[in-house]
Amino acid sequence: NAGVIQTPRHKVTGKGQEATLWCEPISGHSAVFWYRQTIVQGLEFLTYFRNQAPIDDSGMPKERFSAQMPNQSHSTLKIQSTQPQDSAVYLCASSFDSQNTLYFGAGTRLSVL
Amino acid sequence: TQTVSQSDAHVTVFEGDSVELRCNYSYGGSIYLSWYIQHHGHGLQFLLKYYSGNPVVQGVNGFEAEFSKSDSSFHLRKASVHWSDSAVYFCAVSARTGNTGKLIFGLGTTLQVQP
């Protein structure tokens, strides 16, 4: 079991460019979560899929951010027209059961110059 | 609205000392409570969780936490810390009902264990 895999580990973009972050959940896990981590805000919930369906995207900025889960083996978080304030570590997590134990990937550090 | 408060941003202890990391929560319904650990440059790892029954729950590596409904607390403890316990510790709450599995995290407590 390789755990939750996130790629790339580091991404540097210029202001206004697009960034796509990838997540491969643990096989057999039905739920996938995206969080954003910064020093100031801590861990912010972004969005959540269960059985590939979007369940709760209440944490997603309404503009420029989108997430998809086209199949059970991967999810993507896309940020259009990146801004310096988007710089953060983006964490993906998956879970198997309804008792909410999350298994996190190592994260993607996004730096917007 | 669910909130999680970790009152200590940094805690420094010596190896072999006991430690308690504090967590208080605010939520009006049935909840799960959990603790996660994050070593530098890594994702979060699950330590332990409480959802019902015995208010003292045991986790990995000698950690335990005690739920108190009256104090709205879920403090994490370890009797004797090791240098490898140096990390950031996050307390989290999630609703037990409804179709949401999301966790709301506190800002974290950085534990530094000195030799």
The whole-angstrom separation of Cα B58 and Cα A102 is 17
Contact between A12 and A109 (Cβ < 8 Å): no
Detail the DSSP E strand segments found in A8-73: 10-13, 19-24, 31-38, 42-50, 53-56, 65-71
pLDDT of residue A99: 61
Contact between A45 and A33 (Cβ < 8 Å): yes
Task: Kindly list the residues of chain A whose beta carbon comes within 8 Å of any beta carbon in chain B.
Answer: 4, 6, 31, 33, 42-43, 45, 48, 50, 55-56, 59, 91, 93, 95, 98-107
Q: Is the pLDDT of residue A26 over 70?
A: yes
pLDDT of residue B102: 82
Q: Which CATH class is domain A5-97+106-112?
A: mainly beta
Q: Is A88 exposed, middle or buried (0-12, 13-18, 19+ CB in 10 A)?
A: buried
Contact A99 B32 (CB under 8 A): yes
Task: Kindly list the residues of chain B whose beta carbon comes within 8 Å of any beta carbon in chain A.
Answer: 32, 34, 36, 41-46, 49, 51, 90, 94, 99-108
pLDDT of residue A1: 66
Q: Is A113 exposed, middle or buried (0-12, 13-18, 19+ CB in 10 A)?
A: exposed
**Chain A residues lying within 8 Å of B93, measured CB to CB:** none
pLDDT of residue A100: 66
Contact between B32 and A99 (Cβ < 8 Å): yes
By 3-state DSSP, what share of chain A in percent is helix, strand and coil, each rounded to 5? 5, 55, 40
* Two structure tokens written together for A79: 């940020």
The residues facing A110 across adjacent strands are A11, A88
Please state the domain extents for chain B. 3-114
Q: What is the mean pLDDT of residues A5-24?
A: 97
Q: What is the mean pLDDT of residues A38-51?
A: 92
Residue to mutate among A100, A103, A104, A108, with most B CBs inside 10 A, is: A100
Please say whether the dihedral angle defined by the alpha carbons of residues B32, B107, A19 and A61, taken in this order, is positive or negative: positive
The distance of A17 to chain B (nearest Cα, Å) reads 25
The distance of A106 to chain B (nearest Cα, Å) reads 4
The whole-angstrom separation of Cα A38 and Cα A67 is 19
**Three-state secondary-structure class, residue B74:** strand
Q: Is the pLDDT of residue A19 over 90?
A: yes
pLDDT of residue A24: 97
Position of tokens 């994490």? Answer: B76
The residues facing B91 across adjacent strands are B35
**Three-state secondary-structure class, residue B98:** coil
Question: Which of A48, A99, A104 is closest, CB to CB, to B43?
Answer: A104
Percent of chain A clearing pLDDT 70 (strictly above): 96
Mean pLDDT by 10 residues, chain B (115 residues): 91 97 89 93 92 92 95 97 97 77 90 95
Question: Which of B32, B42, B107 is closest, CB to CB, to A100?
Answer: B32
**Chain B residues lying within 8 Å of A100, measured CB to CB:** 32, 34, 49, 94, 101, 103
Contact between A43 and B105 (Cβ < 8 Å): yes
The CATH architecture one would assign to domain B3-114 is Sandwich (2.60)
**pLDDT tens-digit profile of A57-101?**
999 998 999 999 999 999 999 999 999 999 999 999 999 865 668
The whole-angstrom separation of Cα B32 and Cα B37 is 17
pLDDT of residue A21: 98
